Structure formats: structure tokens, C-alpha cells
Amino acid sequence: MDAFNLLKEDHRKVEELFEQLESAQGQAKMRVFEQIKSELELHTHIEEKVFYPALEKPKQTHDLTLEAYEEHDVVKKLLQELSRARTANEEWEAKAKVLQENVEHHVEEEEGELFTKAEAALSEEQIEALGEQMEAEKERKLSSGSKSSKKSAKKSASKTKSASTAQQRARASKKSASKSSSKSSGSKKSRSKKSAKKR
């Protein structure tokens, strides 16, 4: 797949999600934000891992690429800050708007300037190869993400399992301790009775 088309598809998807965010209310807004966050994280990852390193070397794309890295950092910080919130209050809404504006500016600069200069700097084969690499990296990241979420689910399940077995063991040891203490107290009683008879 053509590298530019792949990135443009991502851009359009995020634009649609931002539109949904504006009209969403309450918890639905937070769910749409989570989608935006995962899309942007994946998109920035493939750009930084595959696309930008290829554009750092050519002179005509070097400065724009460095600028793009900086813009990504701003977006990442905003995503972190927004994801800490449980509900969308006025402050959150304002920050989400700043995020949207930053993303829109970044997309505009990328599609308007960077892609045009990159097209001139790279061959068709390189553009195609970059697209394939980004697609493969996207798949790898998505599959590793789903594996890690499965692992964390398994871990939490095993933790609750081990916690419950630990509780069961604790109960069992308490029971046996109380049984043995009652036995020993019983034997003490019988000893005291025997000694009383001897007297």
C-alpha cells in the first residue's frame, strides 16, 4: 500500500472520531475519546517507527520531520492529561479542543507540505515499501496489544484465584488451630481431673 494513502486513511478516521466527540454526551464522550487515543497512539507509533526515520535523511524533508516529532510530543502529553479524567468537565472539553486543533494543524502540515516534499524525495518503490512496513507494524502492534490485554486479564484472574485459595488456606489453618487448641484444653482438663482423684 502507498504510504501516503495509508496515513491519509488514518487522518480521515481520526477526523470522524473528533466529529463524534463533539456531539457525544457523558460517558459516550469518554468512550469516543478512548477510540481517538488508541487511533492516535497507533498512528504516531507507525510514523515514528517507520515513516519519519525515512524522511529525516533527505534535505527537503529533514526540518519538517523534526517539527512533526515535536508536534507528536504535544499530542501525546495532551492525550495523557485527558485520559486521567473520569468525566468530561469544562476544563476537559477545552483541553480536548486543543488536542483536536493540534491534530488538525499537524495533518494539514503533513498532507500539505511533508507528503509533497517526501514524494519528490522518495522513489515510488520506497513509498510503496514504507506503506507495507507501516501496515505490518500496525498489525504487529495491534496483535501484541490484544495479547497483552489477554495476559493482563489472565493475570488478574490468577491473582483473584490465588487470593481466594490463600483465604481458604488461612481459614483451614484457623480451623485446625482452633481444633488443636480445644483438644489440648480438653486434655488439660482430663489431667487436672486425674490429679484431683489422686489427691
Burial class (CB in 10 A: 0-12, 13-18, 19+), 132: middle
Q: Are 36 and 21 in contact (CB under 8 A)?
A: yes
Weakest mean pLDDT among 10-14, 18-22, 43-47, 160-164? 160-164
pLDDT digits (tens, 9 = 90+) for 109-140: 999 999 999 999 999 999 999 999 999 999 99
The tens digit of pLDDT for each residue in 87-101 reads 999 999 999 999 999
Closest CA to 2 of 138, 132, 140: 132
Q: Which three cell numbers stand for residue 161?
A: 484465584
How far is residue 59's CA from residue 47's CA, in Å, rounded to a whole number? 18
Beta strands per DSSP E along 29-112 = none
Residue 194's pLDDT band, with cuts at 50, 70 and 90, is very low
Look at residues 26, 27, 44 and name the one whose alpha carbon lies nearest to residue 99.
Answer: 44
Report the alpha-carbon distance of residue 143 to residue 42 in Å, rounded: 12
Question: Please, are residues 3 and 134 in contact by the beta-carbon 8 Å criterion?
Answer: yes
Res 177 pLDDT > 90: no
Percent of the chain, pLDDT > 70? 73
